[in-house]
Structure 1
Amino acid sequence: MFAIPLSRSLAGETAELRPLEPWNAEEFLAHMDRGREYIGEYIGLADANTDLDQARAFLQSYADKQAADAGRIYGIWLEGTLVGGVLFRTFDAAQGVCEVGCWLEPAAVGRGLVTQAITLLIDWAVERRGIHRVEWVVSSGNSASIKVAERLGMTRDGVMRQAYSFRGTRHDLEVWSTLATEWRRRPVGH
């Protein structure tokens, strides 16, 4: 329905952000298959989408969240291929709080795509929807995701020790956030 161009990737490729919808399930599953090991290192997204029915149901769950104004999901396409995505995992306009998240397949890492896409999401949440607090929750071991939070100018609020069990291992979760007032006064280009 629409595509928002991202600045050219650091490698000069054309990239865009688009809604990721149930009809994209085959493309989404192919993307998960390409990046399953990398994507699944810290998050359960890859494990939860191993066949077409699961992929369709996952994307439908976000279509339902969007209809309820409780979440949204977008894909990142690089040179016409779905390579990752960003989302509002939770979205509570009444409380003014949301949580953003991301994932990428290995071929798209290091191009600045997630930082650009999340910036668009946070801009929209703060400026259009009046969100006061945007959260980023990440496994302490996921240094790439932590670097994105830092590039976005987020503040590390704290660590929830061993709060997340994934693939038989307990992980510490870090909570990062930005407040609307902080987001609006960040330096240009961030």
Structure 2
Amino acid sequence: MFSMPLTDDAHLRPLNPWHAEEFLANLDRGRESMLPWVSPSFVAADLDGARHVLQRYADRWARDDGGIWGIWSGDTLVGGVLLVSLSTATGVCEAGCWLEPAAEGRGLVTRAVSRLIDWVVDERGLHRVEWRVTAGNVRSIAVARRLGMRRDGVLRQVAPGPDGRIDLEIWSVLAPEWRARRDGGVAD
């Protein structure tokens, strides 16, 4: 089985529909902290919904246009990273994440997204990785900054939210910038 270490006690591995019970338990532990920032369609409320979310990403993986991976701390699923979209035709993907509060502050998301960006840039040959974040989500914006992403702009009032329409910030890193940063060089 594929498993990639993130820390001494945390690792990244594929998240499949048969993980629905673990996924739902993870969502239940983090639901309140996730709902302001993550699409309600992702934060499943029951086992069928959790299975549906994971199946949707399994189908994306099969179509080569997305995927989902879990972050396990020990034997507990505490969060994950995903490719919301992936297009080899345009060379662009959108990455995302979620994490339950008990796992915050350990650098797990930054490490996991770094591994994901390495893969899409080096293995898949993509040119641009986007990070879309609701304005005000300071934790997610901090991840984008730690990854060396640049803020491209804001889509103002782009979608309805729980308290009115929301602004969405677009952050990105380009393959040459990523390689230079990762390899200790200077980006173009």
**Bucket of the pairwise TM-score, normalised by the shorter protein:** over 0.9
Aligned-partner Cα distance in 2 for 1:52–1:31: 12
Among residues 28, 33, 37, which one is paired with 2:28 in the alignment? Answer: 33
TM-score by length of 2: 0.94
Matched, 1:20 2:29: no
Q: Secondary structure at the match of 1:185?
A: helix
Among residues 133, 136, 139, which one is paired with 2:134 in the alignment? Answer: 139
Aligned-partner Cα distance in 1 for 2:174–2:13: 25
Alpha-carbon displacement from aligned partner over 1:142-169 (angstroms, at most 9, x marks no partner): 0000000000000100011111212242
Aligned-partner Cα distance in 2 for 1:117–1:141: 22
CA RMSD of aligned residues (A): 1.4
Structure 2 residue ranges without an equivalent (≥5)? none
Among residues 148, 151, 164, which one is paired with 1:153 in the alignment? Answer: 148
Q: Secondary structure at the match of 1:87?
A: strand
Q: Which residue of 2 aligns with 1:6?
A: 6
Q: Secondary structure at the match of 2:133?
A: strand
Q: Secondary structure at the match of 2:56?
A: helix
- Note the 1:71-86 alignment, pairs <5 A: 71-86=66-81
Contact 2:93–2:128 (Cα < 8 Å) also in 1: yes
Going from structure 1 to structure 2, the CA distance change for 1:45 and 1:124 (only over 3 Å counts) comes to farther
Alpha-carbon displacement from aligned partner over 1:96-117 (angstroms, at most 9, x marks no partner): 0000000100000110000000
Aligned-partner Cα distance in 1 for 2:161–2:38: 8
Q: Secondary structure at the match of 1:186?
A: helix
Q: Secondary structure at the match of 2:80?
A: strand
Aligned-partner Cα distance in 2 for 1:188–1:165: 40
Contact 2:42–2:53 (Cα < 8 Å) also in 1: no
Aligned-partner Cα distance in 2 for 1:131–1:101: 16
Q: Secondary structure at the match of 1:50?
A: coil
